[in-house]
Amino acid sequence: METLLRADCICVRSCGDSSSLRPRSPLRLKFYIVSRLQHRDKQRRRPHEVSCHAESAGFHQSRMVAETRANKYPPLDVSVRHAEQDPELQAAALLRAQTFYVYPPERKFAGELHQLVMAENEFQLLRQQQLDDRLSSSNQKFVCIIAVCAAASLPDIEAGLLVDGAEGKEAVVGSMDLWATRALPDEYLRGSRQNPAYIANMCVAAEARRRQVGGVMLEAARSTARAWGVGAMYVHTMAVNEAARQFYAAAGFVVEKEESSNEAHYRGHCLDGVEGRGRTVLLRDATL
């Protein structure tokens, strides 16, 4: 038995309705999306944690339902490593864009364009974060962790997720960041333990879900955290995200802090147009 995690991301929808702003042609659509994304990216800070404030009808937090049922698929034979080369970072960035920015079928064109733009932005951020980590003299550490499998085991996987491996083509089916830092920017809740580490941007390819990829990546994060000598490992999730909370609880995480509805309201966090539903929970890995 396993807890099914239907999605590995959180998409916070803005309270406003932007239907009147939709462009009517592909050219205007491209200009509209790129302009808005460039404006938003100017305000982003590192350490970076992807979130989606989409005005479109994409992924909804309220639709996430945790289910417990028998395994339908056997575990996927994956290996986990730190992403070092550009092709690995590009594949990880594309996987995040496809996971965190989901569109309905009727908006496929806009969705694919948006995902490509966000994948390129994420790739550049990953490269910069990796460079900063190598040159930094502070105690802050960063690593991008990826899970890969033989490409032949997933013949329908997206071509952009394929990389060259030691024994042929491999598919990047999972990705996550691990930060050793006092706090992540834009996150209200901070861990109370000294020398903490934070998990961010954890995602699994649709073709590899429910095959224990997430659990394998968590074990890799634990090994890295122990090697760094951190005092605790944390992850943020939404309070209403029961699927993610059950997934992490099954992996040994416990609730350390939980934001109140008033706190979320004052920070302007809403979900599906409801103020206060976007409140955050901080989970701590009790196995470390």
Q: Find how far residue 26's CA is from the centre of its chain.
A: 28
The pLDDT of residue 275: 66
C-alpha–C-alpha distance, residues 276 and 282, integer Å: 16
CA dihedral over 241, 179, 100, 42, signed as positive or negative = positive
Whether cis (ω within 30° of 0) applies to the bond prior to 47 is yes
C-alpha–C-alpha distance, residues 135 and 123, integer Å: 19
C-alpha–C-alpha distance, residues 25 and 109, integer Å: 11
Q: For tokens 């969705």, what's the residue? A: 111
Mean pLDDT by 10 residues, the chain (288 residues): 38 36 40 44 41 33 38 87 97 96 90 94 95 84 97 94 94 97 87 95 94 96 97 94 93 94 77 73 95
Q: What is the pLDDT of residues 27-83, one digit of tens each?
A: 444 444 444 444 444 444 444 333 333 333 233 332 333 344 455 689 999 999 999
Q: Find how far residue 99's CA is from the centre of its chain.
A: 7
Contact criterion met (CB below 8 Å) for 140 and 148: no
Q: What is the DSSP letter of 218?
A: H
Q: How many domains does the chain have?
A: 1
CATH at 137: 3.40.630.30
C-alpha–C-alpha distance, residues 147 and 163, integer Å: 12
The pLDDT of residue 86: 96
Q: Is the pTM of this model over 0.75?
A: no
C-alpha–C-alpha distance, residues 95 and 115, integer Å: 9
Contacts of 52 (CB under 8 A, 6+ apart): 9, 10, 11, 12, 58, 59, 100, 101
Report which secondary-structure segment, H or E, holds 263.
helix 261-266
Q: What is the DSSP letter of 104?
A: -
The pLDDT of residue 21: 34
The pLDDT of residue 13: 33
Q: What is the pLDDT of residues 111-138, one digit of tens each?
A: 999 999 999 999 999 999 999 998 877 7
142, exposed or middle or buried, with CB in 10 Å at 0-12, 13-18, 19+?
A: buried
For residue 153, what are the domain limits?
2-285
Contact criterion met (CB below 8 Å) for 172 and 163: yes
Q: Where are the beta strands (DSSP E) in 155-252?
A: 162-165, 168-180, 196-204, 232-238
Q: Which amino acid is at 48?
A: H
Pairing mode, strands 274-275 and 270-271? antiparallel
Q: What is the DSSP letter of 88?
A: H
